[in-house]
Amino acid sequence: MALTLISTSTASASATLDITSGIDDTYSVYEFHFVNMHPATNQVDFTFQVNAHDGSSQLTGFNETIQSTTFQSQHGEGDGGATVGYYTAYDQGNGTAYQALNYETGYDADQSVSGILTLYDPSDTTFAKHFQARTQTAQGDDFSVDWYTGGYINTTNAITQISFKFDSGNIDAGTIKMFGVS
Amino acid sequence: MANTVKKVNTVAIADIKNINTITDSDLKKLNTLEFTGTPADAHTLIATATASSSASLTFTSGIDSTYDVYEFQFINLHAATNSVYFQFQVNATDGADYNDSAITSTFFAAYHDEPSGTFAALSYEAGDDAAQSTSDIRLTKWVANGNDESLSGKLTLYAPSSGTYVKHFMSRIANYKIEGATSDTHVAGYINDTTAIDDIKFQMSSGNIDAGVIKMYGISKS
């Protein structure tokens, strides 16, 4: 597996980080690496959505239909709250909201979320588009949270754009790198 | 005009090693035709550590600000002692002895046994996580030492040279555990230290790493 760096997006008090080029049929697998995404607001969720192209024009808005699963493992610095389990409040059943990739990111100066989202065959026009993500978070109440998200974007249109944001407030800092896998 | 020329006369471009004294690594253009070649892989192999009855495997150079993301690939690490943990710790640039940086982590695994084929479970292992611990951090448990038994997997470490943030890590290890079972172990957490991390050590909780390889890669920043 070889990774080719396609683009880097760096947040600086950014409402969203949108990647609107470079997602096409050049690669059948794309990886998005998040490095120290730091929110301006405490205990907010890092999320993503995508935008499709119907073959003749770019559709409007990051609001595609998503079917997803979410589960997480957590443990507090005070040795409490150790568990692994499914998180029903964060999955989607053919929803069009931004999909959560983690849980309650802390906004202390040293807190952030890092991880990876893999998007499969976004330019395909036959199948739904699968994705998998794993993130590691310094959570606002000083928990370590190992978060897993998987699912599919329930469209047969090609996906050409992706957007990342916290569910409230800006992305104060952080970097997202988009790689193609060959 | 990338990769439009496949052959010169009957010689495939891929077979051209040099023209006169110019090697193919310098051969960027032939007349106006540009050769881009295969895109560079963002993975860079920084170091390889090979165990041979080793008490530990350490990386004491190469972890710096060159890369934001480091991957450690574990390939068939074989324990000398049965039923041990595989674990790691780090040194910050102001620390030594792999015991200064407090780490909080989670630990869960899926198990399925060979003998009966009926035991299958997913469980959080509360005794194997860490809460602000400066001891070694467990990455998998019940490592077996049979001749054909080992563990393989990967640990990802984010931005170890950051002077601002805690250092996130995530691992997933496939382990041939004692009593004949597979263990898919997931560990993640953060090194609760805003000082840069520059050393990492891997070892079994008891006994040597009899054999196996750990490869350290950097993921390109640009």
Question: How many angstroms separate the Cα of A28 from the Cα of each of B33, B151, B182?
Answer: 28, 30, 31
Residue type, B51: A
The per-residue pLDDT for B1 is 35
pLDDT for B116:
77
| Average pLDDT along chain B | 89
* Interchain proximity A83–B129, CB inside 8 Å: no
- Once rounded to an integer, what is the mean pLDDT over residues A157-163? 98
Which residues of chain B neighbour A146 with C-beta distances below 8 Å?
Answer: 106, 108, 170, 186-189
pLDDT at B198 > cutoff 60: yes
pLDDT value, residue B29 = 52
Residues on chain B touching A84 (C-beta within 8 angstroms)? 106, 108, 122-124
Count of CB atoms situated within 10 Å of the CB of A150: 16
Task: Work out the mean pLDDT of chain A and round it to a whole number.
Answer: 97
Report the distance separating Cα B74 and Cα B172, nearest Å. Answer: 10
Report yes or no: B9 and B30 within 8 Å, Cβ to Cβ: no
Q: Which residue of A has its CA nearest to B103?
A: A77
B18: tokens are 């040099």
* Residue A179, Ramachandran bin (φ over 0: left; ψ between -120 and 50: alpha; else beta): beta
Cβ pairs bridging A and B (under 8 Å): 121
From A35, A109, A111, residue closest to B159, measured CB to CB: A35
How far is B77 from B159, CA to CA, in rounded Å?
26
The CA-CA-CA angle for residues B142, B173, B50, to 5°, reads 90
B-chain CB neighbours of A171 within 8 Å are none
Instruction: Produce one character per residue of B167-187: b if its CB has 16 or more CB atoms within 10 Å, e if not.
Output: bbbbbbbebbbbeebebbbbb
> B7-46 pLDDT, tens per residue?
555 666 556 555 555 555 555 555 555 555 666 899 999 9
d(Cα B25, Cα A156) in Å, to the nearest integer?
42
B215, B178, B187, B214: which is closest to B56 by C-alpha? B214
Q: Which of B130, B83, B122 is nearest to B105 (CA)?
A: B130
Torsions phi, psi of A155, nearest 5? -145, 150
DSSP string over A21-60? SS-STT-SEEEEEEEEEEESSSSB-EEEEEEEE-SSSBPS
Residue B70 has pLDDT above 60, yes or no: yes
Q: Which of B198, B214, B211, B204 is nearest to B98 (CA)?
A: B198
Q: How far is CA A139 from CA A73, A124, A173, A174, B208, in A?
A: 12, 36, 16, 16, 36
Which of B40, B124, B168 is nearest residue A114 as measured by Cβ atoms? B168
- Whether the pLDDT of residue B146 is over 80: the answer is yes
State the average pLDDT over residues B121-137. 97
Preferred mutation among A112, A139, A181 to probe B, highest tally of B CBs within 10 A: A112
Euclidean distance between CA atoms B69 and A39, whole angstroms: 20
Q: How many CB atoms lie within 10 A of CB B188?
A: 32
Give the pLDDT confidence score for residue B11 in this predicted structure.
61
Q: A106 CB near a chain B CB, below 8 Å?
A: no
* Consecutive H or E run containing A85: strand A83-86
CATH class of A3-181: mainly beta
For residue A51, the cross-strand partners are: A161
- Supply the pLDDT for residue B143: 97
Chain B contact for A54, CB < 8 A? Answer: no
**Reduced to 3 states, what is the DSSP secondary structure of residue A89?**
helix
Look up tokens 């198990």; give the residue.
B111
B43-to-B47, B159, B167, B215, B217 alpha-carbon distances in Å: 12, 15, 20, 11, 6
Q: Would an 8 Å CB–CB cutoff place A175 in contact with chain B? A: yes
- Please give the pLDDT value at position B22: 57
3 state DSSP class of B3: coil
Give me the residues paired with residue B52 across strands: B211
Structure tokens at A57: 């024009």
Domain parsing of chain A, residue ranges: 3-181
Mean pLDDT of all residues in A107-124: 97
CB-CB neighbors (< 8 A) of B186 in chain A: 73, 146
**What is the DSSP code string of B19-70?**
ETTEEGGG--EETTEE---SPPPSEEEEEEEEEEEES-EEE-SS-STT-SEE
Interface predicted TM-score (ipTM) of this complex, two decimals = 0.92
Per-residue confidence band for B4, with pLDDT thresholds at 50, 70 and 90? very low
pLDDT at B2: 44
